[in-house]
Homo-oligomer: A and B are copies of this chain.
């Protein structure tokens, strides 16, 4: 007879869940939320700041980025179709909303769609990808998702079967990958990005990583890459991506390309190349299975709360694709408002349409603000003693390295927390600025980083940089001093 389950405790739940770590919303964030609530409740006496600045997460609207008017008008008309008759709504908004409602057979946003999402929206996605890459896309290989995260988790779930199934992930990485792999009971196979070379991704590093894993009996199934990088901000060149595709071919790997920051590229003259485009120009064009992911949460869109996104598949065996789709049918369909926002993102107003001018103005303003703050932030950070930081070529984050004095390492050890968390925690206590310690993303052993967003509005960003400077100088002095006291 089986030993009967005796009650619900952390010892008898899914131990993969228990082992999983997820720092972006971890201990420090809980502390920041506590401060925030205290400020709201007026019980915050004695705090050296009057506001929390959440630089821990790419949540643009929470830091006062405004939504694009066209996007919201289209969604409002789809939600409440009476608005289509309103005189205050631009004609291109009405046309767009009507097309989407027609595609629901006039059932509207309250009906489940097919599990891969509304056909006309998947066609819009194909139009966008086609224009981006100069290639043909088929709506049958597009899957709308609840944000990019849901698609990535579903694809990883499809891949990981055995405890020795490995997935290659960059270090540093976005912890969705490590957390999901851990939860699914697979193995993280880390490859290191080269910090001293602008966080470059080299095929040598990939080769070293897979050989080591294979020697350890790990069955490496897929290679995840994040481009532009999160938290690292690098933008990979087409040549580099082609090399990576051919590496995947030679090693029989599936590629997962996280490209949610594809419209966040800031460096002068620089542009984004998709893995799909690079694959098509490589010798692996017809062989390497690939899933790429995009989202409505980033770019200048920033519609995180809508949970919109999509996945595109290429070279995936049709039987495998059927299995993936079956998983999607169990959760019925991605939320319809998110689907609508995907449509507006990939198919914005065109020149000559009523909303074009306002749309262009809003989008340009947001992007130029991000570009300016990317530079501001890196300039500010690199002025700090012992801090280096690669340029933010893309995405929404800086990932500076902090050379911590021995005294800080000892103090952290005494406090029983990783040294980078100790630093970030002191920063929060002193300034109200919440960042994520580098250990949440992974880093070369013995190095210490943190991730901070470029999202605070310009004035607020100036403030963030200023208080960071005061804190940092003080921290360094204090912990250098302590060390001398030992």
Q: Which residues of A contact B (CB under 8 A)?
A: 1-10, 12-18, 20, 22, 24-25, 33, 57, 59-62, 64, 67, 72-73, 75-76, 79-80, 83, 104-105, 107-115, 146-147, 149-150, 153, 157-161, 164, 176, 179-180, 183, 213-221, 251-254, 289, 297, 302-307, 316-317, 319-320, 323-324, 326-327, 329-338
Complex-state Cα separation, A161 to B79, whole angstroms: 41
Q: Chain B residues with Cβ under 8 A from A329's Cβ? A: 22, 24-25
Closest Cβ neighbor of A72 among chain B residues: B80
A8-B320 CB under 8 A given contacts A2-B164, A161-B14 = yes
CA A331 to CA B60, docked complex, whole Å: 17
Residues of B within 8 A of A160 (CB): 14
Q: Flag if B105 contacts A62 (CB, 8 Å).
A: yes
Contact at B2–A305, with CB atoms within 8 Å?
A: no
Across-interface contacts of A306 in B (CB, < 8 A):
109-110, 335-337
A selection of 24 A-B contacts at a CB cut-off of 8 Å is: A2-B214, A2-B220, A5-B219, A7-B252, A7-B317, A10-B320, A12-B161, A12-B221, A17-B324, A57-B112, A62-B107, A104-B305, A109-B305, A110-B305, A113-B305, A149-B330, A176-B330, A305-B335, A305-B336, A306-B335, A307-B334, A307-B335, A335-B335, A337-B337
Nearest Cβ distance between residue A374 and chain B, in whole angstroms?
Answer: 21
- Specify the chain B residue showing the minimal Cβ separation from A253: B5
For the complex formed, measure the closest distance between the CB of A88 and the CB atoms of chain B, giving whole angstroms.
8
A112/B3 contact (C-beta < 8 A), A158-B17, A330-B179 known: no
What residues of chain B lie closer than 8 Å to A105, measured between beta carbons? 62
Asked if residues B326 and A9 are in contact (CB atoms below 8 Å), the reply is: no
What are the 8 closest A-B residue pairs judged by CB atoms, nearest first? A305-B336, A76-B80, A61-B110, A307-B335, A337-B337, A61-B111, A25-B329, A62-B111
Whether the Cβ atoms of A112 and B13 lie closer than 8 Å is: no
- Residues in B neighbouring A330, C-beta threshold 8 A: 20, 22, 149, 153, 176, 179-180, 183
In whole angstroms, how far apart are the Cα atoms of A336 and B336 in the complex? 12
Indicate if the CB atoms of B61 and A317 lie closer than 8 Å: no
User: Given A15-B161, A149-B332, A335-B307, does the pair A317, B79 have CB atoms closer than 8 Å?
Assistant: no
Chain B contacts for A112, CB-based, 8 A: 57, 59, 62, 297, 304-305
State A10–B25 Cα separation when bound (angstroms). 35
> Given A114-B33, A329-B22: A252 and B5 within 8 A (CB)?
yes
* Nearest-CB residue, chain B, relative to A334: B307
Q: How far is the CB of A289 from chain B (nearest CB, A)?
A: 5
* Complex-state Cα separation, A20 to B6, whole angstroms: 28
Question: Which B residues touch A253, using CB under 8 A?
Answer: 5
Q: Are B22 and A316 in contact (CB under 8 A)?
A: no
By CB atoms of chain B within 10 A, which of A4, A76, A159, A305 has the most?
A: A305
B67 A110 Cβ-Cβ under 8 A: yes
**Closest residue of chain B to A153, judged by CB?**
B331
Looking across the interface, which residue of chain B has its beta carbon closest to that of A119?
A: B37
Additional 16 contacts, C-beta under 8 A, given A5-B220, A75-B79: A5-B252, A9-B320, A18-B323, A22-B326, A22-B330, A24-B329, A62-B111, A62-B112, A75-B80, A83-B83, A146-B331, A147-B331, A304-B333, A307-B333, A307-B335, A335-B337
If the complex has contacts A303-B110, A304-B110, are A8 and B331 also in contact, measured as CB distance less than 8 A?
no
Contacts of A331 in B (CB 8 A): 146-147, 149-150, 153
